């Protein structure tokens, strides 16, 4: 018992708080699983305000909107139409897909109007986006959140769309989907993951391939649960201080990035740490960090070293190298639905369906 109390005192404020929260059950799990893994002992109850959109079916009409950066390669339109048609979906491209206003897909008011019109169109069952880039955050203070709660439908995107996804789920409870956009590259893996997430009314399960797991940046074994928050690291970090930054308490954070030097990744992770995000979350999933090697390796930490500097002493489970982000193989992940993360088996298992 002397050892137990010494360990209890040294385990840190977050662990002590979690341990005391679950009382005798916590003690039982502690002595059963030992010191080498991290566990959140009970799944959190499903949020009362959760809104699930209706699932997709062949023959449904969907819209593609230009919410962020301008599209300069119009061949993407035909290839994206073909991809969605192959899923049995009828596609309507909003005017903003073809507009260019500097680096934006049209003026703010035009992009916003395209989003609103397709939300209120009862024939449209889901909204996709032609690309990321930059521009989504410019619309946040002009959006009326009842547009989404009154017209709950599937919203899919990633990269710059990270801002919209987290804000919608935070403000309304509507489940949103971190998944591919028109120009992000599609293959069988990505298409099948999208179908699994959007066309079937059952809880999802995803597992990282063994080879991918062996290439992980950092791994901390354990089990935990919580709804997802996060997405693109740069965009998610840019939400700090805004009214739309999501509640991270007892959530599972997932992050991905592309074209950023290790020092930039370090800066953004430091911003999240100083904001207290890593003291609140139950677990962490690191996706792909493509093209994030240092330009001058002799004058830099490696990306792997940056992750170890930040998370080597973390008291929550960590899974890395998941197929999330700016890579061809992409999961489509619902935000706002409770899941179980098992980092020893590199599995995420949703506890409830994400669509109805």
Residues 211, 174 within the same domain: no
Is residue 340 included in any domain, yes or no?
yes
Residues marked as catalytic:
159, 256, 326
Q: Tokens 């950023």 — which residue?
A: 260
pTM of the model: 0.87
What CA–CA distances, in Å, run from 269 to 234, 275, 276, 281? 9, 10, 11, 14
Whole-number pLDDT of residue 118: 98
Q: Domain total for the chain?
A: 2
Average pLDDT, stretch 234-255? Answer: 97
- Contact present, 285 and 253 (Cβ < 8 Å): yes
Is residue 110 included in any domain, yes or no?
yes
Whole-number pLDDT of residue 36: 42
Whole-number pLDDT of residue 185: 84
The model's confidence at residue 91, banded by pLDDT at 50, 70 and 90, is very high
Sheet-wide strand order for 205-207: 38-39, 222-226, 339-342, 347-350, 205-207
CATH of the domain at 194: 3.40.50.10740
pLDDT in tens, 145-155: 999 999 999 99
Burial label for 166, CB within 10 Å (0-12, 13-18, 19+), is: buried
Which ranges of the chain would DSSP assign to H, the alpha helix?
2-10, 13-21, 23-33, 75-86, 108-120, 146-150, 162-172, 188-198, 210-214, 233-238, 262-274, 277-280, 303-311
Structural domain range at position 67: 61-198
Residues 226, 315 within the same domain: yes
Average pLDDT, stretch 328-347? Answer: 96
Is residue 86 included in any domain, yes or no?
yes
pLDDT in tens, 207-232: 998 777 667 788 999 999 999 999 99
Is residue 46 included in any domain, yes or no?
no
* pLDDT: which is higher, 38 or 159: 159
pLDDT in tens, 129-141: 999 999 999 999 9
Is residue 254 included in any domain, yes or no?
yes
Whole-number pLDDT of residue 209: 86
């Amino acid at each position: 018992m002397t050892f137990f109390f010494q360990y209890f005192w040294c385990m840190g404020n977050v662990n002590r708080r979690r341990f005391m929260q679950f009382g005798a059950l916590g003690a039982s799990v502690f002595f059963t699983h030992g010191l080498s893994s991290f566990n959140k002992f009970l799944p959190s109850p499903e949020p009362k305000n959760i809104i699930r959109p209706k699932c997709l079916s062949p023959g449904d009409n969907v819209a593609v909107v230009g919410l962020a950066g301008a599209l300069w390669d119009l061949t993407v339109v035909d290839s994206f139409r073909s991809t969605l048609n192959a899923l049995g979906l009828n596609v309507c491209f909003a005017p903003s897909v073809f507009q260019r206003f500097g680096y934006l897909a049209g003026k703010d008011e035009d992009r916003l109007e395209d989003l609103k019109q397709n939300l209120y169109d009862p024939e449209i069952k889901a909204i996709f986006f032609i690309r990321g880039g930059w521009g989504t955050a410019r619309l946040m203070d002009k959006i009326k959140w009842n547009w989404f709660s009154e017209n709950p439908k599937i919203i899919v995107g990633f990269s710059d769309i990270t801002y919209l996804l987290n804000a919608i789920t935070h403000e309304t409870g509507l489940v949103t989907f971190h998944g591919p956009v028109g120009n992000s590259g599609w293959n069988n893996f990505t298409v099948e993951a999208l179908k699994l997430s959007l066309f079937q009314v059952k809880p999802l399960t995803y597992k990282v391939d063994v080879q991918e797991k062996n290439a992980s940046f950092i791994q901390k074994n354990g089990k935990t649960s919580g709804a997802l928050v996060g997405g693109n690291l740069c965009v998610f970090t840019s939400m700090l201080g805004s009214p739309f930054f999501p509640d991270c308490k007892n959530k599972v954070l997932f992050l991905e990035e592309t074209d950023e030097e290790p020092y930039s990744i370090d800066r953004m992770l430091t911003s999240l740490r100083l904001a207290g995000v890593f003291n609140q979350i139950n677990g962490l999933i690191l996706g792909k960090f493509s093209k994030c090697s240092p330009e001058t390796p002799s004058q830099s930490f490696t990306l792997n070293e940056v992750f170890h500097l930040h998370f080597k002493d973390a008291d929550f489970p960590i899974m890395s190298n998941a197929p999330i982000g700016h890579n061809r193989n992409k999961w489509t992940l619902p935000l706002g639905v409770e899941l179980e993360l098992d980092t020893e088996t590199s599995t995420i298992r949703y506890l409830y369906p994400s669509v109805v």
